[in-house]
Amino acid sequence: MSILRMSNIQKSFGSNHVLKDISYNVDKGEVVSIIGPSGSGKSTLLRCSTFLETIDSGTITYDDKNAAEMKNGKCVYAKNLNDFRHIFGLVFQNFNLFPHYTVLKNMMDAPVSVMKRNKDEVREECLELLRKMGLEDKADSYPCELSGGQQQRVSIVRALAMNPEILFFDEPTSALDPELTGEVLKVIKQLAEEKMTMVIVTHEMSFARAVSDRVIFMDGGVIVEQGDPEEVFGNTQSERMKQFLQNYNNV
């Protein structure tokens, strides 16, 4: 079953046509990596999937319910978009933790004040998540007291605290130095093993190859190639993809 289905997505910023008729699905339990050069539209695609950008045309479907659809040639978003937001979580490149809240409050506040869940119950769940991530001693720390890797792990658990069905990652390790990248990738790998549905925009090629069920290669606002990671990385048919991967092999 597809959790997310996006069809014929068009998105322009002024005269800059960023997404050109993109369609993609994500099935339950699937890990999809989106790779491609800068400016290829992969981050925009993720931002459209999470409603941070509005699409110009196309349909977005979560759990077979339309979040955005075409009506009389115009793209119309559903009135209850916040109900859809509970389906997914998003991990940002720059973490975007709330600096004035402790780690625990960062995690607990949305479930309690947005989803109106029981505070003690949420606290227990959040502490359990922190234990799982080896961050239990950081519950009362403020984000500024943590390393970049720890901050990103906290932002992952903050997203998980909402019990999302699907988790998006927008270049989760791009703001981290290589030493800290590993601890974040380990967490994502662990989630993949637990069959968390995830879409990951990344520049970490070997990671994408190892962790994903499917790889999407984007360039110039279109999906150039997608499929099994071994196929895409090992035996690509596309010249553009070969050229792109060359840059990684050369270093």
Residue 105 burial (10 A CB sphere; 0-12, 13-18, 19+): middle
Backbone φ and ψ of 195, nearest 5°: 65, 35
Residue among 32, 43, 45, 51 that touches another protein (CB under 8 A): 51
Which CB contacts under 8 angstroms, 24+ apart, belong to 1-4? 1/27, 1/28, 2/26, 2/27, 2/28, 2/61, 2/64, 3/27, 3/28, 3/62, 3/63, 3/87, 3/165, 3/166, 3/197, 4/49, 4/60, 4/61, 4/62, 4/88, 4/166, 4/199
Please answer whether residues 93 and 101 qualify as being in contact, where contact means their C-beta atoms are separated by less than 8 angstroms.
Answer: no
Residue ranges in 12-41 that form contacts with another protein under rule CB under 8 A: none
Beta carbon nearer to another protein, 135 or 245: 135
Beta carbon nearer to another protein, 143 or 172: 143
Q: Binding-site residue total for another protein (CB under 8 A)?
A: 26
Beta carbon nearer to another protein, 58 or 111: 111
Question: How far apart, in whole angstroms, are the C-alpha atoms of residue 26 and residue 1?
Answer: 9
Residue ranges in 145-174 that form contacts with another protein under rule CB under 8 A: 158, 162
Q: Per CB under 8 A, does 80 bind another protein?
A: no
Residues in CB range of 50: below 8 A, 6 or more apart: 85, 88, 90, 168
Residue ranges in 94-153 that form contacts with another protein under rule CB under 8 A: 94, 96-100, 109-110, 113-115, 142-144
Strand, coil or helix: 72: coil
Strand, coil or helix: 161: coil
- Closest contact distance (angstroms) between CB of 111 and another protein is 9
Q: Per CB under 8 A, does 62 bind another protein?
A: no
Residues in CB range of 182: below 8 A, 6 or more apart: 149
Residue among 80, 82, 163, 206 that touches another protein (CB under 8 A): 82
Q: Per CB under 8 A, does 45 bind another protein?
A: no
Question: How far apart, in whole angstroms, are the C-alpha atoms of residue 140 and residue 105?
Answer: 8
Q: Per CB under 8 A, does 77 bind another protein?
A: no
Beta carbon nearer to another protein, 170 or 225: 170
Q: What's 79's DSSP letter? A: T
Beta carbon nearer to another protein, 76 or 114: 114
- Closest contact distance (angstroms) between CB of 85 and another protein is 5
Binding region for another protein (CB under 8 A) out of 82-90, 124-132, 198-206, 211-219: 82-90
Residue ranges in 179-208 that form contacts with another protein under rule CB under 8 A: none
Beta carbon nearer to another protein, 26 or 241: 26
Backbone φ and ψ of 218, nearest 5°: -110, 145
Residue ranges in 209-248 that form contacts with another protein under rule CB under 8 A: none
What residues line the site for another protein (CB under 8 A)? 50-52, 82, 85-86, 88-90, 92, 94, 96-100, 109-110, 113-115, 142-144, 158, 162
